[in-house]
Structure 1
Amino acid sequence: METDYLKLFRQNLHKQPELSGSEKNTAKTIASELKKYNPSKIITNLAGFGVIAIFDSNKKGKTIVFRAELDALPIQETNTFPHASKTSHVSHKCGHDGHSTILIGLAQALQKNPLKKGSVVLLFQPAEETGQGAKAILQETKFTNLKPDFVFALHNVPSYKKGTIICKPDTFTPSVVSLAITLKGKTSHAAEPEHGINPDLALHELIYKIKMLANPNQSKEDFSTIATVYACLGSKDYGISAGEGELHFTIRTWTPKQLEILKQAIKNLTQEVCSIHNLNFEIDWFQEFSANRNNQDAFDIIESAAKSNHFEFINKEHPFKWGEDFGLFTQHYKGAMFGLGAGTETPALHNPDYDFPDDITSYGVTMFHTILKLIYA
């Protein structure tokens, strides 16, 4: 494994981050690099700027997909090292640069150790952070015609010792959705608020009552978190009593069923509160991520791969609470995602000082390559 080369490649990606749906140059860099390893076929511009490299043995066998992500986040990087982001207010704060580099390392391994049967698909997916990328890929016949037998992915996880493999069967990441509630009343002179309809009390009531719908007990099937992420009322015009307000929340549940229950409860609650306060309202739902359900067979393969390499393995009791659109793949194909420990001192994901630790790249490449060996054994 060319660890120094992969480190430089990853750091080059880190310097030039691109937001979801705009990964044109990142995809171009990936496709150019993949050509060096002589895949059977490269597909570009998939569901936007997605890239696929197919390594085909031309002999009957299973088709295995390994997926990484291309997009960065709208976060200003605070790091000052030489490979810091060169784009203002955009940076790789989830480690997608590292995940993509791991697949490049797997491409190197496949060139040195050609497949004896079956085929391997390296999928570099756009727009994971917005929840749109997996959905778009699954609508592409260029992907679905490959008819994968298994799909695998990993995600680096700070707060775990470097190189630790973290997994669990069934729900690995939750169902997630965000929503915006717009409250519409009527402005009036601030001296005569009684002549208008101010959404202030309704906004206060909704925050309290919606938050009370959450169940923070991770051991329960109906677990949920509800985070208030944005609130706005009126404008900074002190002669005007507000006539409009806005509330945004993000909801997470272990199961799709519980998510639908909460969505209906929030709709009913909003309707009830707005009726009392004589307000009109609109609810918009967006950035939805399906729960990632790890297939038992795929989980067993991941566990065997970790233990055969003497990597520390943790069978996690509860799912992680962050969303992942890889869940859409596991709805359609047998597959699983696992966590890769990024270090106990590594800043948390989406923090402005986070950086993917290059010394865990080899663990990711080794895990993916071992998974292949176990499936094709």
Structure 2
Amino acid sequence: MKVDNKKILVIFLGTHNAGPVYAYEMTKGLIQNGAIVSAIVSSYTANISAWRSLPLKKLVELPTYHDKREFLFETCKLFLYKKRKLQSLFYGEYFDAIYSPFFAVWNHWIIKSFHDIPLLYTVHDPILHSSESKLNRIINSFVAKDIRAADTVIVLSSIFRKYISEHYKKRNEDIIVLPHGTFESYRDVGHDRTEARGWYQDHLNSINFLFFGRIEYYKGIDLLIEAYSTLEKRYSDRVSLLIAGKGNFSPYRDAFNQLKNAKLLNYTIPDEDVMSLFCGQNIVTILPYRDATQSGVINLAAQSSSLIISTNVGGLPEQLDYGKAGILTEPTVQEILETMQDVVENKEKYTELVEYGKIKVKTLTWNKLAEKLLRRI
């Protein structure tokens, strides 16, 4: 059901990881619901061609930065003249709301340029992950300011509603829960010869465990490797492990190199190749996180009929309907090992979880999520 012609300005100045796809999908959903949408996006965002294809009223591409050196230089230019130029491009235009779908550093300063317009702000990580860097903690202070300034705060899991309400003094009616949508813009497979497809082809008779995402301490890579090491010794060629994602892998490399049936793709997986990670026989997606908010990986796995193992932390249990759409375990080596071992021995008994997950994820369309958002304006 379309919502009458709400005028929205989307601000997203991130470039990589999940942000570009999430922001694009939500913006597309707003348009499908009849909103008149303009957008300010980074010229360097990974999916800029997709943004250019949207029927936006106005698309402003803002050159941001590629690295830390450029960040300092370009941020100075932002304050010297880019902000004024940006404001002039929208002079005299009316908007019902500003929408920030995913945090990026420059978002904060651009949002402040439109301070007199109601702000809808999505908070992906209400609570910082363990072992966050000092830089990320500084950056999080910008997030806190944006949350306080927001007229409507969107969280992706209901368990964070109370935290936002108490920590930021928000009324309950000013907080809405919009679960993570299913990434529809990833193409099925970029090409037939991805490294992942080749790996699965070599392990047709194995239970193929998959970790996909940025390499971060809080995601429990070390717990996974230690558990899998024991599992591999017990089951030899009946199991394999694929770890795919960019990040500092040096703390885990020595232990990983001792594994026999394991492969590492330590780079940003191109959007067109993402689904190839889930296209194979007996793929079991595993999230061994120490702490978490939510994960788009769960939806990708569910829509691909992959069994999911997740630790019982943060918003992950809610995403999995508390065990109906995936297996929940505790974030310890022993618990992860025992769960993986049970899957190797009894994978067929989890068929209902896979089917439930496929049905659940079909309800999480961006069209429906965007409609719910628009009804709050």
Name the structure where helix makes up a greater proportion of residues: 2
Name the structure where strand makes up a greater proportion of residues: 1
TM-score by structure 1 length?
0.26
Highest Rg: 1 or 2?
A: 1
